[in-house]
């Protein structure tokens, strides 16, 4: 399997190169040069298949010959052992054809654990073999940071710097990051939004000054390894529903467009998907884009689902590249126009192509909160506010397909919003309760690439 960039379709890189580089030096995102077809008969007929086994079958297609089948099986076994549910990602039945896929049974209680625990182990595998060290730089709207830090905190050959928008994550989300005290972990609070953090990270990843002193890598969903490993749970949920004569719809709470794009590639690899529903909060650029082509940036609003408070959905570039028939020149022109005008109007063939795969809805805080209450009243199901955006759509659907809404975070990560909606506090797992007493450590920095760059240069540990 070889990879190109959305900004240069002639590149020809292998998985071990693109997982470490994270972002292509031309500013584009890595993409596989062809879509592997998964032998769905085989995995659907295997009644005893486990999550780690499924993960190694799917990921083998993407890692190619950079990891042997045996080693990959070992890595996925080890990775998913730390998850606390025996199904790893259990499918909860709400009615005959409506389900919730719970993706919060990992160490930091959000779906990012599923790709990032694996990424940490893959990094370690490749670095050990090459005898190298790397510095990971990431931006977080709340959940990526803690999941990445947990996955890397004990790895010898990794330094990790995580930027979060100051005061814009929940208190628990922040404490999950800032109370980890191993000496390879650095938290930075940026005086700005998630998009500001993500822009700084994208500049740093291609910075020559930094590259002179360290190898750099990314843990945001701009890293293809994340998208590839997230595709596993879409297959997994369909296997758990065990209704192979039916098509499936997924409803995905969306910010950076990573999770819903992972759903989409599962379809390209053979999962019988009918439609993907993109659920946004009031930061609804993806809803406007898909419903009428209006890809225009607005100011980021703070909502009760902070991990979706994003305007520039990086992974949408991958979808656009695909919709433009993998023409990197056309994509580069489009992205330059978008960047310059902060707006782009999609029409004609591209918009038709998007509508083939996606539907969308924007769900504001009031509706989100009403949905938390409705699912508690109707099913005694307590959902976090991100999950509630997808449940709002799940509730409305009326079809003969299988419908699966993604539960992306544990409700206990957002106790205040739950209390406001149903007037009770969700049960707090012990690990989250214990956080409150721990001491925090992070650095406040201005929204300025050079300031952050200098901080990293001053603090990189010689590993």
Ligand X SMILES: *Cc1c(COP(=O)(O)O)cnc(C)c1O
Contacts with ligand X by CB under 6 A lie at 110, 112, 143, 221, 253-259, 307-308, 386, 408-409
The arrangement of strands across the sheet holding 3-5 comes to: 8-13, 3-5, 30-32
CB-based burial label for 272 (10 Å; 0-12, 13-18, 19+): middle
CA–CA gap between residue 73 and residue 80 (Å, rounded):
11
Residue ranges with strand state E in 121-197: 134-139, 158-165, 185-190
For residue 403, give the H/E element and its range. strand 402-407
Q: In terms of CB distance, is 100 or 408 closer to ligand X?
A: 408
Q: In terms of CB distance, is 210 or 394 closer to ligand X?
A: 394
Alpha-carbon distances of 432 from 166, 337, 413, rounded to whole Å: 21, 44, 8
For the bound state, the minimum distance from the C-beta of residue 96 to ligand X, rounded and expressed in Å, comes to 26
Q: What are residue 326's phi and psi, to 5 degrees?
A: 60, 35
CA–CA gap between residue 363 and residue 409 (Å, rounded):
17
CA–CA gap between residue 151 and residue 147 (Å, rounded):
6
For the bound state, the minimum distance from the C-beta of residue 369 to ligand X, rounded and expressed in Å, comes to 16
Cβ proximity of 406 and 251 under 8 Å: yes
For the bound state, the minimum distance from the C-beta of residue 261 to ligand X, rounded and expressed in Å, comes to 8
373 catalytic, yes or no?
A: no
The arrangement of strands across the sheet holding 98-102 comes to: 91-95, 98-102, 402-407, 248-253, 273-280, 358-362
For the bound state, the minimum distance from the C-beta of residue 79 to ligand X, rounded and expressed in Å, comes to 19
Q: In terms of CB distance, is 304 or 334 closer to ligand X?
A: 304
> Which of 69, 74, 87, 112 is an active site residue?
112
Q: In terms of CB distance, is 158 or 263 closer to ligand X?
A: 263
For the bound state, the minimum distance from the C-beta of residue 386 to ligand X, rounded and expressed in Å, comes to 4
Helices (H) and strands (E) in the chain, counts: 20, 16
Q: In terms of CB distance, is 3 or 257 closer to ligand X?
A: 257
Q: In terms of CB distance, is 5 or 307 closer to ligand X?
A: 307
For the bound state, the minimum distance from the C-beta of residue 255 to ligand X, rounded and expressed in Å, comes to 3
Residue ranges with strand state E in 167-247: 185-190, 215-218
Cβ proximity of 38 and 243 under 8 Å: no
Q: What residues are annotated to the active site?
A: 112
């Amino acid at each position: 399997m070889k990879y190109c960039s959305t900004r240069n379709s002639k590149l020809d890189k292998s998985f071990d190169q693109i997982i470490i580089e994270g972002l292509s030096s031309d500013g584009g995102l890595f993409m596989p040069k062809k879509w592997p077809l998964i032998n769905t008969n085989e995995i659907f007929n295997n009644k005893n298949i486990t999550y780690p086994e499924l993960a190694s079958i799917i990921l083998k297609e993407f890692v190619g010959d950079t990891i042997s089948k045996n080693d990959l099986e070992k890595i996925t076994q080890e990775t998913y052992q730390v998850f606390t549910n025996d199904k790893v990602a259990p499918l909860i039945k709400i009615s005959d054809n409506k389900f919730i896929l719970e993706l919060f049974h990992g160490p930091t209680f959000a779906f990012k654990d599923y790709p990032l625990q694996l990424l940490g182990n893959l990094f370690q595998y490749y670095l050990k073999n090459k005898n190298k060290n790397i510095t990971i730089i990431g931006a977080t709207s709340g959940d990526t940071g803690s999941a990445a830090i947990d996955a890397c905190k004990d790895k010898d050959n990794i330094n990790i710097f995580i930027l979060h928008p100051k005061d814009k994550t929940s208190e628990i989300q922040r404490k999950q990051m800032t109370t980890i005290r191993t000496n390879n972990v650095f938290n930075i609070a940026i005086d700005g939004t998630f998009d500001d953090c993500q822009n700084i990270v994208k500049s740093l990843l291609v910075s020559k000054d930094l590259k002179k002193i360290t190898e750099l890598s990314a843990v945001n969903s701009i890293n293809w390894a994340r998208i590839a490993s997230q595709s596993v749970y879409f297959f997994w949920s369909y296997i758990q529903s065990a209704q192979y004569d039916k098509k499936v719809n997924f409803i995905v709470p969306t910010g950076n467009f990573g999770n819903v794009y992972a759903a989409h590639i599962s379809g390209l690899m053979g999962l019988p998907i009918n439609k993907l529903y993109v659920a946004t909060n009031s930061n609804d650029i993806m809803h406007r884009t898909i419903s009428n082509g209006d890809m225009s940036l607005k100011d980021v609003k703070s909502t009760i689902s902070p991990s979706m408070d994003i305007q520039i959905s990086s992974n949408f570039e991958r979808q656009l590249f695909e919709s433009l028939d993998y023409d990197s020149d056309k994509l580069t022109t489009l992205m330059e126009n978008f960047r310059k005008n902060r707006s782009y109007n999609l029409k004609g063939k591209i918009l038709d192509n998007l509508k083939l795969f996606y539907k969308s809805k924007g769900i504001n805080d009031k509706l989100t909160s009403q949905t938390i209450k409705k699912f508690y009243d109707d099913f005694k199901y307590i959902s976090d506010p991100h999950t509630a955006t997808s449940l709002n759509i799940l509730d409305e659907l009326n079809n003969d397909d299988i419908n699966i809404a993604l539960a992306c975070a544990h409700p206990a990560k957002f106790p205040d919003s739950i209390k406001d909606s149903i007037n009770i506090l969700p049960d707090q797992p012990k690990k989250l309760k214990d956080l409150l007493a721990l001491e925090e450590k992070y650095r406040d920095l201005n929204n300025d690439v050079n300031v952050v760059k200098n901080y990293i240069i001053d603090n990189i540990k010689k590993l």
